[in-house]
Structure 1
């Protein structure tokens, strides 16, 4: 699983949501009159993800999850979250699940959240601690993991 980078996992979870939206039977639909508010997490997720990605690249930081970090980025969106890109992906999956409006669609963001919280982020944090030491420790004490 060391080669399953977060954008690939995101796409692997988004495709079933698209298929659910296209082909879901009515008996899976949520039982209420209103659609879930999917537009807010879509806009927030896209904005956070793009801001973090552009900012990270402008600092020439290593973006690949499983490569050795080059340096610590602590400004821009990284002032508010140590993991804004994961947060952006998660919000996009929440938006897609709300748009599909089928109860089982919530599995996609739940799977991404679990993978990020229990595998990707701990791996990255260990690499940052090993590479950057006290600089990363001080940053992690100042800034929360998600928001």
Structure 2
């Protein structure tokens, strides 16, 4: 699962749940379906990841989560509030798509994005950070939550 980047997994989960929704006849949850709220969530989902990407570029460290090493432990910007702003953005993005469509099966996508990030990608990255940055990463992890 680590060979494909997390945004590709999110896209695959959205495509799979859209296909399943199509085959099921797009059953909708009326009290959750809101195009306006969905588009708002999608728009907001880009803030933390883009901020993080800009910060990574400025700090000169790797963006690829499967890189062998990272040049720097970045703890500023959105990383003050969450250790995983990019994954958080993917979860919120997929939730926004689900809310915008209102289709019951589309709500499986954000759950799958969360599960893949939380139990596959993040543990790999955190182990790498612990090996590379030791006590500095442990202190950071103690002070900043994994998600929010």
RMSD across aligned positions (CA): 2.2
Conserved? CA contact 1:17–1:96, under 8 Å = no
Conserved? CA contact 1:17–1:100, under 8 Å = no
Give the superposition deviation at 1:24.
Answer: 6.5
Residue of structure 2 in register with 1:8 after alignment? 8
Residue of structure 2 in register with 1:123 after alignment? 124
Taking the aligned partners of 2:75 and 2:32, their CA distance within structure 1 comes to 44
Q: Give the TM-score taking structure 1 as reference length.
A: 0.88
Conserved? CA contact 2:83–2:145, under 8 Å = yes
Q: Which runs of 4+ in 1 moved over 3 A?
A: 16-24, 31-34
Taking the aligned partners of 1:17 and 1:49, their CA distance within structure 2 comes to 23
Taking the aligned partners of 1:92 and 1:29, their CA distance within structure 2 comes to 19
Q: Give the TM-score taking structure 2 as reference length.
A: 0.87
Residue of structure 1 in register with 2:34 after alignment? 35
Counterparts of 1:1-147 in structure 2, within 5 Å, are 1-16=1-16, 25=25, 28-32=27-31, 35=34, 37-67=37-67, 68-147=69-148
1:107-145 Cα shifts (integer Å, max 9, x gaps)? 111000000111110110000000110110111111111
Give the superposition deviation at 1:82.
Answer: 0.6
